[in-house]
Structure 1
Amino acid sequence: MVGSLVGGLLTPKEKTEGPRIDDLKVQVSTYGAGIPQMHGTERIGGNVVWSTDKIETESTTEVGKGGGAEHTDYRYFVHMRVVLQETPRDGSIVSIVQIFQDGKLKWDARSGLPVATALASEENLFAFFTLYQGHSDQLPDPVEEIYQGGPGTVPAYRGVVSISMKAIECPGGRVPQFSFVLSTSSETVIEVNELADAPAGVTSYHGQYIKGAVWHTNYTDANSDGNGELEVYFSHSGAAMTLERTIPLLFCEVGSLTTFVPIPCPGTPSPSVIRTRTDANEMDTYIDIIDLNEGTQTPIFTYTKGTLDYPFLSSPYATAAYDPQSEKYVMLGGGTADLQTKPAVIDDGTIITCDAVTGTTVGPVGIYNDVVYVVTVAGGNLQMETRHATTGAVLAVPVVGPALGVSAVFAQAAIFCSSQGVFVSVPTTNGVDSRFFRVTDSAWELIYTADILQQFASASANFYTDGNMSVVGPSSADRKYEVVRPAISISDVRVKDIIADQCERAGEDRYDVTGVPDGDTIHGYKIQNPASARSNIDPLLTAFAIYIVDEDGLIKFKKYEDITSEATIRYSELGQSEDASQSPDPMPLSRTQEIDLPRSVSVSYINQDFDYQTATETAIRQVTESNEDMLIELPIATNSDRAARVAQMVLFARWRQQNTRSVKLSRKFAFMSPGDGGTYEYPRGTFRLWRVMSQTDTGTIIEQTLEPGDAELFTQLATGGSGYVRQGVDPLPPPTALEILDGPIMQDADNNAGLYAVMESRGAGWTGAELLMGNSVNLLESVGTVSNESVIGSTQTALGNFTRNVVDEVNLVTVNIGEGALSSITRDVLLAGTSNVAAVGANGRWEIIKFQRADSLGSGLYILSGLLRGLRGTEWATGLHQVADRFILIGLAGTLRPNLDPGSIGQTKIYKARSKGRSAESAFPISYANTAEGLKPFSPVDLRKSISSNNITLTWGRRSRLVDNVLATGVIPLGESVERYDIVIYSDGTFTTIKRVLSVFAASGVYTSAEQIADFGSNQTTLNVRVYQVSDAVGRGHELQATV
C-alpha cells in the first residue's frame, strides 16, 4: 500500500484534453453584399461586417479517484457586428421582433406571448444585444474600438441598422448562424400578465422575484409573541406555487411586539429575508439573514441592549437590501425615530449609520456598488438621495423627480438596484398608470406606466426589473404577482407607401398612387439586392392586381378591380378605317390556343405565420387539355389566404386573356387611355365592359386591343392552407433544488472525503442538471451531471427519539415531498432490501432511516411508519430531530458525490445545480464547509469491563463504514488505514471532566491500577467512559458512551 502511494506521488498526473481548434479566424462579409431595404416586418440574415477572432477559454477538472488525472475542456466565443438593413429614409425606429440561432427561435418580443415564453426570452443572453439604428448622430461601438485599437479605428455604421453581439458561444468552434425578424412598422405596448398566485398568509406575507422565479413567504405567528415560522412557496415561469419548505424562526422574546417580522432583502445571491430578534432577556439583539433556498438563519449583526436601541424593527414599511459588489446590507424604516431617517449599513458585523435623509417622507432603500439610495418625498416631489455606504456621508444633492401624485401609494413604492441601473416603482390606489422609473445621476426617466394591482398595505412590496421587464407583488386581495413587459405590436404597411418610396428613390415625383386603396396592406417586403424601381414593385403589382398607366403627365397606379366605363361605344362606331372601307367584323377575335395557357398557377411566398419560411399556394383549372404549370415567386411576407387569392386571380386572368379583340374607332375616343374601361356594343344590341390593353393613335383613327373587363375576378376571396405553426421560445426548464448531504457513505465506492449532492426538479420540463463546484462563484467547474431526480422534502412533524434495535412502530413522521411520490414495501424488503432509504435531519445531525409504509394524505404529504432507525452509524442523531427537517430519499437517482481529497476538509466551497438549458448564473449558490462525515468511524458497540488485580480491561465491538467481503469472508473490513481507538475516562456521569485518555490499537484497553490511583486516588469499580475509533483523515469518529 505504501508503495502504491509513493508511486502515485512520483508518477505525473495523466492529462487529457477535449476538442480544440487551431484556426481561430472568423470569416466576415466582403464588399459588394447588398444591404436590404425593409418595409414592414420580415426575416433577415444580415451580413457580419466585424468580428473578433474566436476567443478561447479553458477549464481544467480533476477526474478519477483521488484526482489522479486532469481533463481540460475548451470553449470559444466571439464578439461581432451584423449589418441587417438600410436605415429607414424617414428616420423611423427599427425593432427586433425575434432572433433565430441556427434556425431555432431563441428570443421573442412579440405581444400576446405566454408568460413562460416571455420570461424565457427575458433571461436569454440575446435580450442584452445592442441594436444600432444607424442615424446621423450614431457613434462607434466602444467594445469594437477596444479590440481595434481605440477611438477612430472603427466606423460608426451610420445609414444601416446593425446589431452588436457580445460573447456569442461557438459550439465546437463553429460560429452560429443568426437571423433576425425586424419590423419598421411596430409600436411598443405595455403588457401586464399574472405571474404567480400565492396562498393567503396568516400574520403577514411578502415575496421576492429572483432568477426567473417567485419566492413567496407567509409568516405565521400564532401566539403574537414575535416567534413563528415561515412557509416558503416557489413558482417558476408562471407555474402554480408549491410549498418549498417551512422554516421555524429562531427564538425571539419581544412580548406582544409583532413588528419583528421578516421582510425581503433584494440583491442577495439567493432569495432571502431579513429579521430582527432578541434573546429571552431582551438583552442581546440579532439581525438575521434567512436564506429561503437553504432554510438557514445566519446573524449578520449582534448588539447588546443599551448600546444601540433596536436599530431595525422589521415593521411593514421597513426595507432592506444587499449589495453584491461590496457585500454590505442596508436597512431603513424601523426602530427608533432617529434611525427611521438614517440608513443603517451592516458591513462584516459592524454597523454604519448614514447621514439622515432630508426628505419629509422616507421611502424604500437600496444599495449597489457601495452607494446607498433612498427614495424620499420633498415638496410633493419624488427625489433620490444618496449616501456613501462606507462613510455614511452625503454623496450628492438629491435628484428631484416628478410630482408624487394624489393617487400614488408612496408607502408601497419600491426600489431595485443592479448593474442595469437604479429603478423605482410607484403604484397607485386604483392600479391605473402605476409608474416605473430609471433614476440617473441627474434625472428620473419614466420607463413606462402600467395598470398593475394595488399593493397590500401591510406587506413589503416586491419589485424587480432588468430595465425592460418588471415584476411586482404581492397584490392586496388575491396575493398575485404580475409581470410587466414592453412588447412589440406589429402593423402591416400600405402598398401605396412602398410604391411611392420606390418612385422617389428613382427620382420620379410624377406618380399618383391614389388609385391604390389604403386597405391594401402587406405584412412585410424585403428588397434584398439593388434593382430598378420597376423590378422592385413588380411583386406588389402582381399580388394586388395593380396596373400602371401614363396619363395626364402622371404615372398612375390603378387597380384592375376598379375598372369603370369611361365611354360607351355603339356598334355603328366600330370598324372605322382611314379609307372609309367596311370591315367584315368590326371587333375581330384573337384566341390563344388552350395548350399555351396554364393548367395551374403556384405562388411561392414568405409565410408570415411559419417563421417567414417559403410556402406555396396553388390554383388548378379542373378541366383543361393544357399541361403547362406556372410558378410565380412573390418575395413578400404575407399569409396563405393572400397567396391563394393571388394564385387563383392570376390563373383566371390568364384564361380570361385567351380571347382578346381589336377595334378601330374614330378620334372621338382619343381621350381614352390604356387601362381604361369602355362599354362596347358587340354584337349589335349587346353591351359589355372591356378593358383597353393598348391603344394607338394613327392621326386619323384610334386602334385598341381589348380584353374582357371582368372586375369581379379581382375581388374574389380564397382560403389558403392551414396548420402553419410558428416556433416558440422554449420555456426555461425549472431550476434544480440542491441539497448538500454531508453524512455517512452509502456504498464502499464512496469511501472518500466527498459529500453527496442531491438534486431534484422544481417543476415540469426538467431534463437533468449539472453540478458545479469551486472555491468561489467565479471559479466554478463541472463535476458531473444527472438525468434523473431524487425526492427532496421536509418533515411536517418532528421524528421522535428511539433507541431500541427493532423496527420502530411507535413513532410516525409526516413529510411533504411536493411533486414526488413514495410507496410502501413489505417487511421482508424493509429488513433485507435497499428500498425506501432516507436521510432525515440536516448537516451535523443526519439520521439514516428506512420506512415500510408511506400513507398518502394528498398534495405531496405522506405519513411514514414502520421505521428502521439509526442506520449507517447514525443512531447518535435519533433524538435530534425538529419540525421542518429535510427529508431526502437516498438512491442513485439525482445524486452525485464530488470526489474531494482530505485536504479539502473544513474548506468552504460553493455549489450550484444548473438545470440543463439554463445558465450557471440562474442557479443559486450554496456555501458549505465539508466535514467529511462520511470518513468518520462509526461508534464502537457493546462496551464491557473486566477487573484483574485492580486493573480494568475494557473491550468493545468494532463497526465498519465498509461492507465489502463481509458475506464472503465473515470479516468486517477495517475501513481505516490503521486500527486505533481513544478511551476517554471521565470523573463522573456528567461526562464533563476528563481524567485520562488512553490510545490503543486494538478493540480493548487496560486502565491500570496505578493510573486509577493517580487519577482518582483509589482503584475504581465503576467507570464513565467514551470510546472513539480514530481515523487518520478526520480524527475521532462518533463515540460510544457508557458507565461500566
Structure 2
Amino acid sequence: MPTGTGFTSWRNPTWNGTTLIAFNAGQYANTYWWVTSTDGVSWELKSGSVGQPNNRPSTFKKGWNGSAWGSFSHGVGQSFLITPETFGITPQKSVLSAIVAAECLQSGLLTSGDIDVTALTQSVRGYRVGSIGAIRAALEPLQAAWPFDVVPHGYKIRFVVRGGASVVTIPAADLDARGEGDAPGVQITTSREMDSQLPRRVTVQHLDYDREHNAGTQYAERLNTAAINALVLDLPIVLTATEAAGKAEVLLYLYWLERYDVSVTLPPTYNQVEPGDVVTLVTPKGNVSLRLTAIHYTSDGRIACQAKYARAAIYTPTAVGASPAVSGATTITPVGASEYVLMDVPMVSSAQSGPSFLVAMTGALVGWRGGVLMQSTDAGSTWASLQDFGPPGASLGTCTNSIGVAEHRLIDNASVLNVTLTQGELFSVTQLAMLGEANHFAYGADGRWEIIAAQDCTLVSGTSYVLQNLLRGRFGSEWAMGLHAVGDALVLLDTADVAAITMSSGSIGLSYLYRGVTVDRDIGTDANRAFAYQGVNLKPLAPVALTGNRDPSSNDWSLSWIRRTRDGGEWRDYVDASLGEASESYAIDVYADGSYATVKRTISATVPSCVYTSIDLVSDFGANQATLYLQLTQISATVGRGYPLTASITR
C-alpha cells in the first residue's frame, strides 16, 4: 500500500461491493489521506482538505450508502463523507453567447471575427437542436427565451440584448426633419394592430429542469381584454417552472407593448443610431422610449426610422411557477448497442418458403428499446431499412463449450451444451412439446448452422444455462454436427422474435453490408458486417437409404434411395411427403475410389432410382466393379444441387 512522510498506518478498510477504502490514522495539517483499490492489490492514493474535520476520524465507524463512504463519530463536527469520482454529476451552465456563436460558425461563411456576441451573457441550462435546418431556425427559440436583436454593425454582425438603456435623447424639434423649403410634416406616425389579433394567452412548453428534462408547460394570460387568441411556443430549452413562467409573461406583454408601429424622420446629425438601439423622444405629452427596428437613408441625407415602443421593466418578470407535482425518473438507463445474428439456415417454417434468411436481434444492455436492421447493396453508399425489432428482442447468446457428432435420429442424452445469453430467458419443455418443434435453436455460425432442440434448459446463474436431452441435426442439418467450436452462437427460433428477411433469387451468393442500429441512435453507431445469402433454405436435403444391387448375369447396377423434403414432411398415413421442388431431379456422381476426389461419371435421374450399366462401368473403369463410391444429391431449379449423401456400396 502507498507510504509517505508522516503516515502511521492505514485503518478500518471498508468494502462497497466494488471498491475498498482505507483511512490514514496520522495527524496532518489541513489534509486527510485515504487509499482505494478494486482488487486489494493495486492501490490509489487520494487526499482532501476542503470540509474535513480537525479531528482525523480514522478509527470512527465506517459505512457505504450506495454513493459515498461515511465516517461517523460521537463528537460534533467530526463526521464526514467521501464521494468517489465515479459518482455525482455537477451541472454546468452554458453561456448564451457561446451557443449563438457556435450556431453562427456552423454556416462556414462566418468566423469569430465577423460576429459580436459579448452582450449575450445569460446562462443557459440546456438547449436541444433536434433536427437539421437553417441556422436562423436554431436561433429563434433562443430569441424567444432571451429577446435579442441581430443587427449589422460596421463589418460585423452584432447581437443586442433588448431592454438596454437609451443611447440618445431626441428633442421635438428634430422629429420632423425635412428638406429646405418643405412644409412642416407629421413628427411621429403611429399605427396599431387590432387587439383581437393579439394573444390573450401565451403558453411556453419547455424541458423541465426539475423533472429530469421531461416536458413542462407554463403560461401567462391577460384577462382584461376581448382577445381570444392563444399562442403556444415550443422551446427546446431546459428551464425551471419559474423561469418558463417568466418567459411566458415577458412574451405576452411584449406582444401587447409592440402592437404599435412608430415612424419618425431624423436629420443627418443622428447617423450614429443603429437598429436595435433604444432612443428617447421628447414630445409634448412626455418622453417616449422606442426600440429602432429599421433605418432607411433618404437621398437628401435624412434618416427614416421605424420603431416599436420599448420599456426595460417588461423584461424583468414577476411570475412564479409552481413546483412540479410529479418528477421524472431518477435513473437514466443506458440504451446499449444492438446485438444481431444473420442466419442462412434450412427451412424451419413456412415463412422461409421463398428466398429468405432469418435474423435475430436484441440489446447488449437491459435498457434496449428496439433496433432496425439496415442493408446496403452498394458498398455502403446508401442504406435501406429491412426490419424493425422491438424490445426485449430474441433470446440469443454464446456457447462456452462445443458438442460433437451424435445419432440425429435419436434423442442425444449424452451431450451437454453450456450457453450464456446476451438477453432473454430459456425454459424447459416436455418431450412431446420438443418433438412438436418447441425449443428449437440455431447453433453454430454462418456456413455451418445446425438446428437442434432442447428438452431441458437449466438456469445455472445469471444468464447462463445448461441444455440437455437434445434433438440433433434437425431439418437436414446433420452434416454440421462435427463442425462446432467454442464461442458458437445459439439462437432460440421463436417465430415471434426472429424475422424472415425476403430476398430475390438474383441476390443469392452476393455479399451485402448490414448494420444493426438501436432505436434513436445514428447509423454510424454500428460497424459494417458483410453477409452473403447462399439460399440454404432452398437447398434440397440429402437423400437417405441409398442401396444397390448388381445383376449377376449382366453386371448392371440398380441403385435406389429415398428422398427427403425440406417443405412439410409430416407423417400422415397413406400420404407421401411433398416434393418441395418445381420438379424431381437427381445427380449421382460416381467416384474413382474412396478418396472421393475424381468423378468418373455423373448419372442423372428424375425418379429415386437409376441403372449404372455394365457398358458404362467398363467404359469408366476398364472393368466391372464390385464396389461403387457414390455421392447423391437432389437438384433444385433455384439453387442447383442440394446437400449430398456420400456412401459406398459393395456387392
Distance 1:719 1:784 in 2: 45
Closer, same or farther: CA 902–720 of 1 in aligned 2, 3 Å: closer
Query: Is 2:397 the counterpart of 1:793?
Result: yes
Change over 3 Å in CA distance of 1:879–1:134 after alignment to 2: closer
Corresponding position: 1:940 with 2:537: no
Q: CA RMSD in A?
A: 4.5
Following the alignment from structure 1 to structure 2, what is the Cα–Cα distance between the partners of residues 751 and 116? 55
CA positional deviation for 1:893: 3.0
Give the CA deviation at 1:740.
0.9
Question: In the superposition, relative to structure 1, how do residues 1013 and 805 fare at CA in structure 2: closer, same or farther (>3 Å)?
Answer: same
Tell me the equivalent position of 2:562: 957
Task: State the match for 1:827 in structure 2.
Answer: 431
Distance 2:335 2:102 in 1: 37
- Residue matched to 2:596: 991
| 1:168 partner amino acid | I
Distance 2:516 2:638 in 1: 28
Letter in 2 for 1:761: G
Q: Measure the CA separation in 2 of the matches of 1:953 and 1:726.
A: 79
CA gap 1:942/1:117 in 2 versus in 1, 3 angstroms? farther
State the shift of 1:895 in Å. Answer: 1.9
Q: Deviations over 1:963-1008 (max 9, x none)?
A: 0787497232222222111101112222222221111111111111
The letter of the residue matching 2:484 is: H
Unaligned residue ranges in structure 1 (runs of 5+)? 1-111, 119-128, 146-150, 185-497, 509-603, 617-636, 644-717
Name the structure 1 match of 2:479.
876
Q: CA deviation at 1:158?
A: 7.1
- Distance in 2 of aligned mates of 1:116 and 1:870: 54
The structure carrying a bigger strand percent of its residues is 1
Distance 1:840 1:180, change over 3 A: farther
Alignment of 1:736-751 (within 5 A): 736-751=338-353
In the alignment, which residue of structure 1 is the partner of 2:451?
Answer: 848
Q: Name the aligned partner's letter for residue 339 of structure 2.
A: A
* Residues in 2 aligned to 1:860 and 1:998: alpha-carbon distance in whole angstroms: 52
CA contact (8 A) 2:100 2:139 kept: no
Q: d(CA) in 1 for partners of 2:325 and 2:580?
A: 66
2:499 equivalent to 1:899: no
Measured at CA, do residues 177 and 852 of structure 1 come closer, stay the same or move farther in structure 2, by a change above 3 Å?
farther
User: % of aligned pairs identical?
Assistant: 26
SS of aligned partner of 2:557: strand
Measured at CA, do residues 160 and 940 of structure 1 come closer, stay the same or move farther in structure 2, by a change above 3 Å?
A: farther
Within 5 A, what are the aligned runs for 1:274-423? Answer: none
Distance 1:180 1:828, change over 3 A: farther
Answer yes or no: is 1:912 the counterpart of 2:515.
Answer: yes
One-letter code aligned to 1:851: A
Aligned partner of 2:587 in structure 1 is 982
**Equivalent position amino acid for 1:814 in 2:** N
Distance 1:1026 1:178 in 2: 75
Alignment match, 2:373: 771
Normalised by the length of structure 1, the TM-score is: 0.35
Paired residue total: 402
1:793 partner letter? G
After TM superposition, the structure 1 = structure 2 runs for residues 200-279 of structure 1, keeping only pairs within 5 Å, are none
Asked if 1:838 is matched to 2:436, the reply is no
Q: 1:855 to 1:116 in 2, by over 3 A?
A: farther
> Contact 1:937 / 1:1036 at 8 angstroms: preserved in 2?
yes
Aligned-partner residue type, residue 1012 of structure 1:
L
Q: Indicate the SS of the match to 2:566.
A: coil
Q: Which residue among 636, 639, 646 is the counterpart of 1:1031?
A: 636
**Deviations 1:258-280 (Å, cap 9, x if unpaired)?**
xxxxxxxxxxxxxxxxxxxxxxx
Q: Which residue of 1 aligns with 2:534?
A: 931
Letter in 2 for 1:133: A
Q: Any conservation in 2 of the 1:852–1:866 contact (CA below 8 Å)?
A: yes
Q: CA deviation at 1:156?
A: 6.4
Per-residue deviation, residues 286-340 of structure 1 (Å, max 9, x unmatched):
xxxxxxxxxxxxxxxxxxxxxxxxxxxxxxxxxxxxxxxxxxxxxxxxxxxxxxx
Task: Decide whether aligned partners of structure 1 residues 865 and 935 sit closer, same or farther in structure 2, where only a CA change above 3 A counts.
Answer: same
Give the 3 Å change call, closer, same or farther, for CA 117–1001 of structure 1 in structure 2.
farther
Q: Distance in 1 between matches of 2:329 and 2:138?
A: 18
Is the Cα contact below 8 Å between 2:408 and 2:474 reproduced in 1? no
Aligned positions of 1:515-554 closer than 5 A: none
Cα distance in 2 for partners of 1:783, 1:859 equals: 33
How far, CA to CA, are the matches of 1:503 and 1:726 in structure 2? 38
Aligned equivalents of 1:159 and 1:842: distance in 2?
A: 61
State whether residues 954 and 1006 of structure 1, in contact with CA within 8 Å, keep that contact through their aligned partners in structure 2: yes
Give SS of 1:897's match. Answer: strand
Contact 2:454–2:467 at 8 Å: present in 1 too? Answer: yes
1:1043 aligns with 2:648: yes
| Aligned counterpart, 1:808 | 412
Q: 2: CA distance between counterparts of 1:177 and 1:834? A: 60
Counterpart Cα distance in 2 of 1:975 and 1:875 = 19
SS of 2:502 mapped into structure 1: coil
| Rounded Cα–Cα distance in structure 2 between residues aligned with 1:964 and 1:113 | 63
Give deviations 1:903-958, integer Å, cap 9, x for gaps.
11111111122222222222332111221111111100000102222110110001
Letter in 2 for 1:802: A
CA distance in 2, matches of 1:903, 1:922: 30
Q: What displacement does 1:783 show?
A: 1.7
Verify the 8 A CA contact 1:732 1:918 in the aligned structure 2. no
Cα distance in structure 1, aligned partners of 2:240 and 2:419: 57
What amino acid is aligned across from residue 344 of structure 2 in structure 1? D
Partner of 2:453, secondary structure, is: strand
Counterpart of 1:142 in 2: which secondary structure? Answer: coil
- Residue of structure 2 aligned with 1:780, choices 383, 395, 400: 383
Q: Aligned AA for 1:763?
A: L
Amino acid of the structure 2 residue aligned with 1:927: A
For residues 116 and 750 of structure 1, what CA distance do their matches in structure 2 show? Answer: 52
Mapped to 1, the partners of 2:166 and 2:513 lie a distance apart of 62
Q: Distance in 1 between matches of 2:88 and 2:452?
A: 39
Gaps of 5+ in 2: 1-83, 91-96, 147-160, 170-203, 221-238, 246-319
SS across alignment from 1:878: helix
Partner of 1:529: none
Pick closer, same or farther for the CA change 1:719–1:847 going to 2, 3 Å. Answer: closer
Q: From 617, 620, 624, give the equivalent of 1:1019.
A: 624
Which letter maps to 1:141?
S
8 A Cα contact 1:134 1:160, kept in partner? no
- Residues 815, 178 of structure 1: CA spacing in aligned structure 2 closer, same or farther, 3 A cutoff? farther
Question: Does the 8 A contact of 2:351 with 2:500 survive in 1?
Answer: no
User: How far apart in 1 are the matches of 2:383 and 2:412?
Assistant: 43
Q: Per-residue CA shift, 1:438-493, capped at 9, x if unaligned? A: xxxxxxxxxxxxxxxxxxxxxxxxxxxxxxxxxxxxxxxxxxxxxxxxxxxxxxxx
Paired residue secondary structure (2:501): coil
Any residues of structure 2 matched to 1:1001-1016 within 5 Å, and which? Answer: 1001-1016=606-621
Structure-1 separation of matches of 2:373 and 2:88: 25
Q: 1:158 and 1:994, CA in 2 relative to 1: closer, same or farther beyond 3 A?
A: same
Alignment of 1:7-18 (within 5 A): none
Q: Residue 754 of structure 1 aligns with which residue?
A: 356
The change in CA–CA distance for 1:914 and 1:504 in structure 2 (over 3 A counts) is: same
Post-superposition shift, 1:815? 1.1
Task: Give, in whole Å, the separation in 1 of the partners of 2:565 and 2:138.
Answer: 55
User: Does the CA contact (< 8 Å) of 2:419 and 2:490 recur in 1?
Assistant: yes
Q: Which amino acid aligns with 1:884?
A: G
TM-score (norm 2): 0.54
Name the residue aligned to 1:7.
none
State the alpha-carbon separation in 1 of the partners of residues 168 and 329 from structure 2.
Answer: 41
Distance 1:959 1:139, change over 3 A: closer
Alpha-carbon offset, residue 798 of structure 1: 1.0
User: Is the CA contact (8 Å cut-off) linking 2:355 and 2:538 kept in structure 1?
Assistant: yes
1:70-128 per-residue CA deviation (whole Å, 9 max, x = no partner) reads xxxxxxxxxxxxxxxxxxxxxxxxxxxxxxxxxxxxxxxxxx9999999xxxxxxxxxx
Residue 842 of structure 1 and its aligned partner are, at CA, apart by 0.9
